[in-house]
Amino acid sequence: MARKKILVTGGAGFIGGNFVQYMVDKYPQYGIYNLDLLTYAGDLTKHKHIETKENYHFVKADIADRETILTLFEKEKFDYVVHFAAESHVDRSITDPGVFVQTNVVGTQVLLDASRMTEITKFVHVSTDEVYGELDFDPNTFFTEDTPLQPNSPYSASKASSDLLVRSYNETYRLPVNITRCSNNYGPYHFPEKLIPLTISRVLNDQKVPVYGDGKNIRDWLHVIDHCAAIDIVLHEGINGEVYNVGGHNERTNLEVVKTIIKILGKSENLIEFVKDRLGHDKRYAIDPTKLEKLGWKPTYTFDTGIAQTIQWYLDNKEWWESIISREYQNYFEKQYSSI
């Protein structure tokens, strides 16, 4: 029997990269194809320990390059597509929204066309809770799959647009799809422009840690490995056409997150520096994952266990994140902060 092929787009990024490793290790019977353009946040060194495995393959390509993508799909005849590839940093979307439209909207549409033409078994589109907009601070309110889409940044608007495209290909062309919308991820290999890795790296270097506004914005934190397990279940068990929210039941204010990291690392809270709030900064995100839990998924990490594991990973892999920070983006980190 021929080996089934799964195309993972954005597999050199943070979440997609963890998912590639998860799938290569768990499913030796699948061929896992990692497609990535290797832009600033893409990094292949994380895959050195799997790159010689028989079921792992890498393809460098732009998802918005129609000719290249159609040729690839015709050649490989993928069975499944798990689509992570996206521009994802909110601050960058504010300064250059056109890039986000090109990758997140046009790129998704190209992949959908290729998937339709080659009759794939399922297309899983990995999205974000940011498409729902923001919640107030009432702890009894949550995003559900029926919450209207009300994106507040160019990034989230581009993701909402791609979500609607995916839905339309299911309704119009009967392409088998699922959409997942996750809360904020954290864990190994997180690119250092985001809140948690930025805080860890700066605290370790005794540098000031920038916190937007008053730090009271709330996010629901999800360990990336729990997210990978959720995508795995949706890929294999998700009902055609359905949306599934993925949340970690771990709400924290940004300030609480920063203080937790500082405490674990034994540093002073004097490192905290409040800075001008970001444009369109959503107050609160919180996910109700009940629908997904009915498929058999539950998060395995609490925030306390997950953040301790993440910090230890950064301590054990200092060479990796220091090499990332030392690239040409150092000046960017000094001017721009987390997208949380």
Same domain? For 132 and 91 the reply is: yes
Selecting among 43, 79, 130, 232, the annotated active-site residue is: 130
In a domain, 287, yes or no: no
Domain count, the chain: 2
pTM above 0.75, yes or no: yes
DSSP codes of every residue in 168-197: HHHHHH---EEEEEE-EEESTT--TTSHHH
Same domain? For 88 and 139 the reply is: yes
Domain that holds residue 205: 187-219+250-280+303-334
Q: Give kind and range of the element (H or E) at residue 108.
A: helix 107-117
Same domain? For 76 and 118 the reply is: yes
Give mean pLDDT, residues 86-94.
78
Same domain? For 146 and 192 the reply is: no
Same domain? For 177 and 200 the reply is: no
Percent of the chain with pLDDT strictly greater than 90? 79
The three-state secondary structure class of 224 is helix
pLDDT tops 60 at residue 328: no
Q: How far is it, in rounded angstroms, from Cα 34 to Cα 107?
A: 16
pLDDT value at residue 327: 56
Selecting among 22, 33, 56, 155, the annotated active-site residue is: 155
Q: How far is it, in rounded angstroms, from Cα 120 to Cα 34?
A: 17
Paired tokens of 150? 């009300």
Q: How far is it, in rounded angstroms, from Cα 238 to Cα 240?
A: 6
Q: How far is it, in rounded angstroms, from Cα 127 to Cα 122?
A: 16
CB within 8 Å of 317: residues ≥ 6 apart: 188
In a domain, 25, yes or no: yes
In a domain, 122, yes or no: yes
For residue 323, the domain's CATH number is: 3.90.25.10
Higher-scoring residue by pLDDT: 339, 160: 160
Q: Note if 129 is an active site residue.
A: yes
- 285: closest CA among 141, 106, 145? 141
Which residue type sits at 289? P
In a domain, 292, yes or no: no
pLDDT tops 70 at residue 337: no
Same domain? For 20 and 85 the reply is: yes
Question: Considering all CA atoms of the chain, what is the largest pairwise distance in Å, rounded to the nearest integer?
Answer: 61
Same domain? For 144 and 274 the reply is: no
Q: Note if 304 is an active site residue.
A: no
Paired tokens of 236? 């294999």
For residue 39, the domain's CATH number is: 3.40.50.720
